Amino acid sequence: MTAKAFASQADLEEKKVSFTKLSDHAYAYTAEGDPNTGVIVGDDAVMVLDTQATPVMAQDVIRRIREVTDKPIRYVLLTHYHAVRVLGASAYGADQVIASEDTRDLIVERGEQDKASEIGRFPRLFRAVESVPPGLTWPTITFRGRMTLWLGKLEVQLLQLGRGHTKGDTVAWLPQERILFSGDLVEFDATPYAGDAYFGDWPHTLDRLAELGPEKLVPGRGAALVTPQQVQAGLSGTRAFIADLHASVRAGVAAGKDLKSVYRDTYAALQPKYGRWVIFDHCLPFDVTRCYDEVTQHPDPRIWTAERDREMWQALEA
C-alpha cells in the first residue's frame, strides 16, 4: 500500500468559488469545501467574518464584495485563531479586528506555532504566502461571552456559546433575519478538523446554536445552508461526526488500546459514513490524536508544531 502524502500537500486542485446571497445583508463566499468567508452588509459598513489565508487570496473576496456594495469594510471578525482563517486580515483595511478574549489568548500562546504548522500541512490554501505581513494577526477589540454591534439599524450579535472546534469559538447571529455564521463549529459535507477541539463540549455547543433557531447558516466549510432543513442537516451531521469519533476513541481507550490501534479502528468505523466528505483523510489523524489526548490525560489541546505534525503523521500513517 502506498503511503499517504503528508496532510494535504498533494491537494493542488483549485476549487470553484461561489458567492451566495442569503439576504440583502448576508453573503457567503464558499469554495467546494475550502475555508469559507462570511460577509455582513449593514446600513453604513461591512463586516467580514474569517479572512482567507493570505492577503492575495482575500482580494477575491473584496472583489465580490465590491460587486454588491461600495460601503467601507470597517470590521473583521476572527471566529477563531487558526492561521487559514486570519492571515488575510490585512487586505481589508478594517478599522477594527474583533475576536473573543479566548481567541486572543490562543494567538498569544500558540499563534506562531500554528502558523508554521498550517502552512506546512496545506500549501494550496496559503497561495502567495509571501504577501502575509510579518508577525501575527492581532485583534483590536476583544470580548467575553457576548457583544452586539449595530451596523446602522442592522443588529449583529457576536456570541461565544461554548467550546468546540477551539475554546475561543465565536458565531455571528443576525436575529432580525435568523441568519447564523458558525465558523468551524459547523461544517457541511466537509470533515470537521478537531485537532484543537473539546469533544465533550462540542455537541452541547451545537445544541446552543440550534436553540437560536437559525433559518440560514454559513458553515466554516461547505455550501451555504439556505433552508431550515439544510441548517438542521449541517448541525446534525457535524454533531454525529464528533459523537461517533468520540465514542470510538473512548471504546478503544477503555479496551487498553494504544493510539495507533485506536486510529485504525476509528478510521475503519467512520470511513464508510464520512469518507466522502472533503479532507477526511487529512483531518482524521489530527482528530483522533486530539480525542485520544482528551480521553486519556490532556483536557486542553496540546500545541501542534510543524515537527509534531510530521511525527504524528509518520506514527499513524507510515
pLDDT digits (tens, 9 = 90+) for 188-236: 999 999 999 999 999 999 999 999 999 999 999 999 999 999 999 999 9
Assess whether pLDDT exceeds 70 at residue 8: no
pLDDT digits (tens, 9 = 90+) for 59-117: 999 999 999 999 999 999 999 999 999 999 999 999 999 999 999 999 999 999 999 99
**DSSP designation for 303:** P
Assess whether pLDDT exceeds 50 at residue 1: no
The bridge status of strand 96-100 relative to strand 179-187 is unpaired
* pTM score, whole prediction: 0.96
Q: What is the mean pLDDT of residues 170-196?
A: 98
Q: Please, which pLDDT band fits residue 7 given cuts at 50, 70 and 90?
A: low
pLDDT digits (tens, 9 = 90+) for 262-310: 999 999 999 999 999 999 999 999 999 999 999 999 999 999 999 999 9
- φ, ψ of residue 117 in degrees (nearest 5): -65, -50
pLDDT digits (tens, 9 = 90+) for 119-149: 999 888 899 999 999 999 999 999 999 999 9
DSSP string, 116-185: HHHHHH-GGGGTTGGGSPSS----SEEESSEEEEEETTEEEEEE----SSSTT--EEEETTTTEEEEEEE
Q: Which long-range contacts (CB under 8 A, 24 or more apart) does 203-208 make?
A: 203/239, 203/242, 203/243, 204/162, 205/161, 205/162, 205/163, 205/164, 205/169, 206/164, 206/235, 206/238, 206/239, 208/161, 208/162
CATH number of 18-317: 3.60.15.10
**Domain segments of the chain: what residues?**
18-317
